[in-house]
Amino acid sequence: MTTHRADTPEEMLALGASAASFAKHGNVFALVGTLGTGKTHWSKGFVSAIDSAAVATSPTFPIVNEYRGGRIPIFHFDFYRLKSAEELIALGWDEYLDEDAIVICEWADLFPEIIPSEATWLEITHQADGSRQIREISRPEKGEPQ
């Protein structure tokens, strides 16, 4: 599995941008990590690299931010405030997946059963020296600590 390190917020942005360089329509990126690990920074770098004029922000309160100005539309979700997968479905989850776009999900491990099987799962963790480790992981089971 691939592992990367980010020592600064700028390096986290660069890792998101790097992932965007190989992304294509239909990709789903499932991000896992505790508060403050850099999930949104990774997403900002990703959105910026898709040439979107939009500045990505955390979708914690709106649940989903839509970025349609770049070469590929991006739907950026945050599952943190959701209580169930049914809430996500009621918000139009299936319709978003059916669009010719890229989906990024923060806190994806809260509802892994709803993430498509071909998604790329990335776990971001705090390291003792203050850096972040980003590694590709297998789909976690619901409730499984990462």
- Residue 59: inside a domain: yes
Overall domain count for the chain = 1
- Residue 68: inside a domain: yes
- Residue 28: inside a domain: yes
- What ranges make up the beta strands (E) of the chain? 3-6, 28-32, 64-67, 74-78, 102-106, 120-126, 132-137
pLDDT in tens, 74-90: 999 999 999 999 999 99
- Residue 66: inside a domain: yes
- Residue 143: inside a domain: no
Tell me what the mean pLDDT of segment 9-20 comes to. Answer: 95
Name the nearest CA neighbour of 107 among 47, 46, 43, 39.
39
- Residue 41: inside a domain: yes
**How are the residues of the chain apportioned to helix, strand and coil, as percentages rounded to the nearest 5?**
30, 25, 45
Least confident of 40-49, 61-70, 108-117, 127-136: 61-70
- Residue 145: inside a domain: no
Domain extent for 100? 12-124
pLDDT band per the 50, 70, 90 thresholds, residue 61: confident
Name the nearest CA neighbour of 34 among 133, 138, 129.
133
**Residue 141: both structure tokens together:** 């089971």
- Residue 130: inside a domain: no
CATH code of residue 60: 3.40.50.300
Can you give the pTM of this predicted structure?
0.91
**pLDDT for residue 141:** 73
Mean pLDDT of the chain: 91
pLDDT in tens, 104-138: 999 999 999 999 999 999 999 999 999 999 999 98
44 vs 58: CA distance, rounded Å = 9
